[in-house]
Amino acid sequence: MTEHSLPIVRMKPKSNARAIRHGFPWVYDNEMVTDRRTKALTPGTIAVLQDENRTDMGLVAVTPGSRILCRMLDRDVTAQVDQAWFAARLSKALEMRERLYDQPFYRLIHAEADGLPGVVIDRFGDVAVVQPNAAWADARMDDLVAALVQVTGVTTVLKNASGRARVLEGLDDDSAVMLGDAPTAPIPVPMNGAIYMADLIGGQKTGLFFDQRPNHAFAARLSQGARVLDVFSHVGGFSLAALAGGAETALAVDGSDPALELASQGADAMGKADSFATRKGDAFDVLTKLAEEGAKFEVVICDPPAFAPNKQALEAGLRAYERIARLAAPLVAEGGYLGLCSCSHAADLAKFRGACVRGIGRAGRSAQLIHTGYAGPDHPLMPQLAESGYLKALFFRL
């Protein structure tokens, strides 16, 4: 039996060790022997995972208070999780992104799928924004930042601690500048011919959502010469892409004044300010009012926040998606297009599609489903982990 300098944690008899061997990255608390020694480990401790027969399975990060008690880091139990280890993972991730994108604006690390569980890194040129949403990564930020600079050459690294998952890991919400100087103005981000203004300090998440890039591009193809309505627009995701694609006009609707101001700055930077308008308000209320005003658009896109972030919220979330579809469908001109999106982990594609179809039907419209979109390839899917495939975009012709 191998001697280990690291702590050892063990799976219970009859737990699903086979799933771990086949690539599943998490071990839940009910599958582990949680003796006093395991419970006493500091959150983020790296340990050797063994099955019930004391056979080594890999290096894991342990968070004793979490439902996900272990996250698989490396199948090699002799690996050293240091700067060189991080650099190897980052280099592998960077090679793919540089092959896919001609400019350094993308998600560089998408957590488990890129071999860094709980870690998200978005790149904005020379600035990287890191979300260390797991205790093991939070404790090793110095090595991660050093490796990030070594591999990418970025000059500024920001730590964003706003992730909901950090609470589950017992972590603080203190964001920080880890390297360089915090940007004093929004950063212009080119995507699909549009220019988005990303507020990396005060904006949502890391400042911009890269995941919708291929769906923005598809919507833009539908938008040539069209009047476009972009609901839950954030900084103008679909509306600015539509204008870049030749839309006649675009109206962005959001509840946030700062987000709409950034959207307007983006339209201005594109030379499209005259074709762009914003409307602040609750999306459900604005959709209702637009119908009362008799408004019609050739393309309507609704990209709401996660209405069903967990299983407990699933039924209420599906009702909300159905309601959005019901309110949006009457605004689509005959032969026009309706795009409906969901970033809810708990609502799988079939359930989300069912809710959308019911809503369109309740609005008295008939539809063809013409395209199903997902997150871009800089948000890779870990095949063993269904939760990593959260984004769905359905495009209907009404």
For 127-148, the DSSP string reads: EEEEEE-SHHHHTTHHHHHHHH
Domain boundary among 74, 100, 126: 74
Single-letter amino acid, residue 201: I
Please tell me the pTM assigned to this model: 0.94
Span 342-398, pLDDT tens digits: 999 889 999 999 999 999 999 999 999 999 999 999 999 998 887 667 899 999 999
Beta strands in 265-360 (DSSP E): 276-280, 297-302, 332-342
Are 265 and 357 within one domain? yes
Domain boundary among 161, 179, 197: 179
Answer yes or no: are the C-beta atoms of 325 and 365 closer than 8 Å. Answer: no
Low-confidence ranges of the chain (pLDDT < 70): 1-3, 203-205, 387-388
Beta bridge partners of 107: 122
- Here the CATH number for the domain that contains residue 60 is 2.30.130.10
Are 105 and 224 within one domain? no
pLDDT for 388 equals: 63
Tokens of 13: 């008899």
Count of domains observed in the chain: 3
Domain boundary among 46, 74, 102: 74
pLDDT for 167 equals: 81
Are 66 and 141 within one domain? no
- Here the CATH number for the domain that contains residue 100 is 3.30.750.80
- Here the CATH number for the domain that contains residue 266 is 3.40.50.150
Contacts of 294 (CB under 8 A, 6+ apart): none
116 DSSP 8-state letter = -
Are 65 and 126 within one domain? no
Tokens of 56: 């080594």
Domain that holds residue 341: 189-397
pLDDT for 16 equals: 86
User: From its phi and psi, is residue 310 left (phi > 0), alpha (psi between -120 and 50) or beta?
Assistant: beta
Q: Is residue 34 assigned to a domain?
A: yes
Q: Is residue 184 assigned to a domain?
A: no
Q: From residue 164, how far is each of 41, 60, 170, 303, 386 by CA, in Å? A: 23, 22, 11, 20, 19
pLDDT for 1 equals: 47
Are 391 and 288 within one domain? yes
Q: Is residue 227 assigned to a domain?
A: yes
Sheet of 45-50, strand order: 8-10, 45-50, 56-62, 68-74, 26-28
Span 293-325, pLDDT tens digits: 999 999 999 999 999 888 899 999 999 999 999
